[in-house]
Amino acid sequence: MSIDFVAIDFETANSFRGSPCSLAAVVVRDGKVQAEHEHLMRPPNASGPDDFDEVNFSIHGISWETVADKPEFIDTWSELNLPGLGLPIVAHYAAFDLGVVRDALSASDANWPDLRYTCSVVLSRRVLDLPSYTLPFVTDALGIPLHEHHDALADARACTEVVLRLCNDSGANSLDALLDRHQVRWGYIYANEWSGSTKQQSSPTRSELPPPRENADPSHFLFRKNVVITGALPGGIVRKDAQQRIAYYGGTPQVGVNTETDLLVVGDIDPRRLAPGTEMSAKLKKAMALRAKGSSIEIIAGSDFLAYLD
């Protein structure tokens, strides 16, 4: 396994996240920087100075005059083809930067890509004890230089160094290992759906889980099944609500995978990635190991599972 990812950073023209005017990307393979990209661009549908807010300009210094002769966002995004690299994305405040990706593509009438991503802020919160987790505080705590904060390339470089340092300090030889060690789940974008990269919530005890409903329909798929959910369900479905629905249909929600488990629902993964040879969460690995020993645990994607919840 190796440390492979792309660190990105956007600057926007105004308060709308879909108004990128600058994009930087740092490509890391096997723990080493392989390439760097930095581009100025016209935000989708921007036509003049009125599309640039004074507040944003005061932060990054990019105006309409700076980008008037530059390609539009969609042209630069397509040329870079970051999804085509097949690498996970990392950003500091990924909720913002991946929101820029989604909103800018939607404003450009373009489809969302298939992306897996995580956030260096979320990871830093799990490792460091700081008064603030803005990039200047995190880099200062780790002794990482930060030049020209809010210059997209400078911030992407700093984000790269933060992630590499966290991997090194945690003894993690991949981002999967880093996230697993600090109990952070991957975020995903695919097919106009997305889930955030957040810390994993503490699991309820068995006594806190709802019991199967009496008089449930015995013909339902979930009836008398012991069900475990791993990862975030698509569509923003809260795990507690999903467990209530499992119990409603006569199933029994479980905290972890064991020999009694009948069904494992893998929530935060593109169904197309649920295939032999792909990377697995700890619960998925355990389920596969039990199957290899003769267990009949069935594994389904979160999107398929939601169909059973009506």
* Residue 292's CATH number: 3.40.50.10190
Based on the fold, state whether residues 186 and 282 are members of the same structural domain. Answer: no
Mean pLDDT, range 263-268, rounded to an integer:
83
Mean pLDDT, range 278-288, rounded to an integer:
75
Least confident of 23-37, 203-217, 282-296: 203-217
Burial of 202 (C-beta count, 10 Å sphere; 0-12/13-18/19+): exposed
Report the number of distinct structural domains present in the chain.
Answer: 2
Neighbouring residues of 162: CB distance < 8 A, sequence distance ≥ 6:
92, 120, 124, 135, 138, 139, 142, 144
> What confidence category does residue 273 fall into, taking pLDDT thresholds of 50, 70 and 90?
very low
Based on the fold, state whether residues 169 and 221 are members of the same structural domain. Answer: no
> What confidence category does residue 306 fall into, taking pLDDT thresholds of 50, 70 and 90?
confident
How does the average pLDDT of the chain come out, rounded? 89
Q: Examine residue 201 and state whether it is found in any structural domain, yes or no.
A: no
Last residue of a domain, one of 176, 195, 214: 195
Based on the fold, state whether residues 178 and 253 are members of the same structural domain. Answer: no
Based on the fold, state whether residues 167 and 231 are members of the same structural domain. Answer: no
User: What pLDDT does 283 receive?
Assistant: 81
Closest CA to 93 of 179, 10, 213: 10
Tell me: the pLDDT tens digits for 75-86?
999 999 999 999
C-alpha–C-alpha distance, residues 141 and 155, integer Å: 16
Based on the fold, state whether residues 174 and 211 are members of the same structural domain. Answer: no
> What confidence category does residue 249 fall into, taking pLDDT thresholds of 50, 70 and 90?
very high
Based on the fold, state whether residues 140 and 284 are members of the same structural domain. Answer: no
Based on the fold, state whether residues 92 and 217 are members of the same structural domain. Answer: no
| Contact call for residues 35 and 6 (beta carbons, < 8 A) | no
User: What pLDDT does 22 receive?
Assistant: 98
Domain housing 73: 5-195
Based on the fold, state whether residues 68 and 165 are members of the same structural domain. Answer: yes
